[in-house]
Structure 1
Amino acid sequence: MTGSTFGKIFKVTTWGESHGKALGVVIDGVPPGIAISSKDIQKELNRRKPGQSQISTSRKEKDIVEILSGVFDEKTTGAPISMVIWNQDADSSAYEYMKHIPRPGHADFAYDMKYGVGIRDYKGGGRSSARETVARVAAGAVAKLLLNRENIKIVGHVISIGDINAKEMNFENVSLNVEKTPVRCADIDAAHSMMQLIERVKEEGDSLGGKVEVLVKGIPAGLGEPVFDKLDADISKAMMSIGSVKGIEFGAGFNCISMKGSEMNDEITVQNGTIEMTTNNAGGILGGISTGMPIICRLAIKPTPSISKVQKSINSDKMEEAELFIRGRHDPTIPPRIVPVAEAMMALVLVDHLLLSGLITRHTTR
């Protein structure tokens, strides 16, 4: 199985399965001399871990990280950093009867077609499980430490669940309010409505999708390579690699199709000796290169495919139609827990491009 490594200089390789012994990540390309401790990683993992509220899965994982290599006296050495997170609350019993029945909306059928029936780890989804993202968040925590040194900040938040939409908010208000509710919506009134909707749909045995927005402040102009390695292209690949993400937009996004050029174009001005744009419909990226304006991207997240309603599928062992009732512990909606994952993927892309551009040196010890 290829495709578990991401990045050009800041390279991240994740490993492990949902119900295996552990999951982990190896990061190569981290400059030496960066102050780091397990607490820095743990802070981000605690935001992603399951079982935190009534709107997430009841699976209880402490997700305690162990740093195995690449750090000495709480500073990076420049060697690959390896981290492991042990599984402690995996319950595979609910998956036994689904061994030969691919779950609608999951990767089960596609994995069977690619690797052959009987190869796929059916326990918790194996490698295709959202639990794989714990390793991404650990890597993203390291990337965030590098970004903090450059005064670059990332914040994500939920801006819609089902048909409930949050009001538009700036970076500061999002940062202040996003962690105040389990749904991670910075609009507190909308967050309460979202939670009520999630509870109602959960009782019906169903699930909901939504939209996550990721904002980046302090990004310098000039990041991104023309043509195939555009900054927004790499961000798009990073975000679309997260399970359940079905769409992405930047700035005005899909609304641009109903705008005129005079409305879409961000006019350029000089304010106090600084070049700025009067609007940010481009979402901080033009021609695949950052403009210095905040990066704004939004992700469309599909409803959790594991639902408590009877669905039609097939039994691949008997080659006949089958009905499926999914047991186990699942999130009734995914966007709140995708927020730290999306932040992590954004951080990985930005650090990689900063290294590619030379704005962060591979040998800095400052």
Structure 2
Amino acid sequence: MKFLDQAKIYVKSGAGGAGCLSFRREKFIEFGGPDGGDGGRGGDVVALCVDGLNTLVDYRFQQHFKAKTGMHGMGQNRAGGKGADAVLKVPVGTQIFDAETEELLADLTEVGQSVRLAKGGNGGFGNAHFKTSTNQAPRRVNSGQPSEERTLYLVLKLIADAGLVGLPNAGKSTFLATVTSAKPKIADYPFSTLHPQLGVVASDGTEFVLADIPGLIEGAHEGHGLGDHFLGHIERCRVLLHLVDAGCDHAGETYKTVRRELEAYDAGLPEKPEIVALSKVDTVDAETLKTQMARLKRAAKKTPLRLSAATHENVDEVLRALRAAIAAAEKAETPVAEVVAWHP
């Protein structure tokens, strides 16, 4: 299934049904009076967050969604039925923006959340509604209220506890495949991941979600390479794992390149807790490894971890560091209950 994380759609709610102009006509009933029923309400357009979806590909082939119009009122005081709603099923992490104002309408982060995107029009009153003591035979009815229509942007931002960042071929996909059941494409020749990947890490009796995004290159914020569009998928992460290839020319400069792209994108990414690791340490000799560790330590201003996902070297240590950082971030996000002093 193709991964799609943005879609532009058009939605239109249902118009309300018209009220009915009718009078009771029966044998031996001289003054039947008005009996026109009210029109039914038009259907709404609703977005519903569901489980089992991880892409917006359904909205690539269908972009127009319209709810049903309410039924018109009928004689014998019969009201029209409500029009059917149009329900848009979206994956967890979907944001909905108004295309004209760019206003964020909803951020659906939990299964079962829903939001009304376009309200259906109310049905019109039939002439029975306007009967009064001084107007026993009204010929007045209302048409239903018109529908609402708007153009929307759907943007999917994956929800994960930790995110992998780094240049292409830094070993991110290999690490994801090693610690989770995810199956990203891995080969013995250089290439870059094209679509974000999610995996669930089970470590020491706990679980957390790890996200891998396409690698960044210098100038990604200007559209070079695959751009920095996919950084949106780690905006919700609590911690970043920054992998630097031990076989690159200069580990310090490589680290700074990715950091510059994170700062250019912003959205709070530069301020997130970061764990730095020198990956693919099994591909270089001891002297090169020592030099690269020193360069990376100076650039990151912290001691980096050593990692080789291929040989499982220090994989557990990296997972423990991630788990500790996630726990610390969760603790910081938990609001502390204010203790109110008791008074008689």
**TM-score, scaled relative to structure 2:** 0.27
Structure whose residues are more often helix by fraction:
1
Which structure is higher in RCO with an 8 Å CA cutoff and minimum separation 6? 1
Q: Which has the larger radius of gyration?
A: 2
TM-score (norm 1): 0.25
